[in-house]
Amino acid sequence: MKKSFLLILLSFFLSCAIFKSQNINPFIGTFKVKVLDIDGVDVPGVLTISKKSDTYLSEIVYENDNIKMEILSSYEIDDKTFLIEAFVDGNQIDFELDFEGDTITGIAAGMFEVEGSRTK
């Protein structure tokens, strides 16, 4: 009886450890994104988000000319929403992005729609 109890207890702890390791951060990865309809043109880019300790690191590279956007800060608001504060053409632009599975939707500068999908 004692061995059975210990076996069940051990199985419980191992199963919890397995499920905890499967907790994947939805924000980390590489994404193809587009900011829609800026002066009638969609602006494509590649967004890469990583995490070092408790700090998120983001990089946005314009796809057409391979120039990196200056990122001021990046952080999660909740389990589906991520905010990137960037400096573009002399202005601070906030990207509020909603992640669902491998898809991103959101808003840039409070007025431009953003859409994208995970590539890695």
Q: How many domains does the chain have?
A: 1
Q: Which of 30, 61, 32, 39 is nearest to 112 (CA)?
A: 39
Check: CB of residue 54 under 8 Å from CB of residue 37: no
**pLDDT (tens digit, 9 = 90+) per residue, 47-102?**
999 999 889 999 999 988 889 999 999 999 999 999 999 998 899 999 999 999 99
Residue 12 lies in a domain: no
pLDDT score recorded for residue 120: 82
CATH at 63: 2.40.128.120
Instruction: Please check the confidence at residue 2 and state whether its pLDDT lies above 80.
Output: no
Residue 7 lies in a domain: no
Residue 16 lies in a domain: no
Q: Torsion angle, CA of 16/22/28/32, rounded to 10 degrees?
A: -150
How confident is residue 36, by pLDDT bands cut at 50, 70 and 90?
very high
Residue 8 lies in a domain: no
Q: What is the pTM of this model?
A: 0.77
pLDDT score recorded for residue 9: 46
Residue 22 lies in a domain: no
Residue 102 lies in a domain: yes
Domain that holds residue 46: 29-118
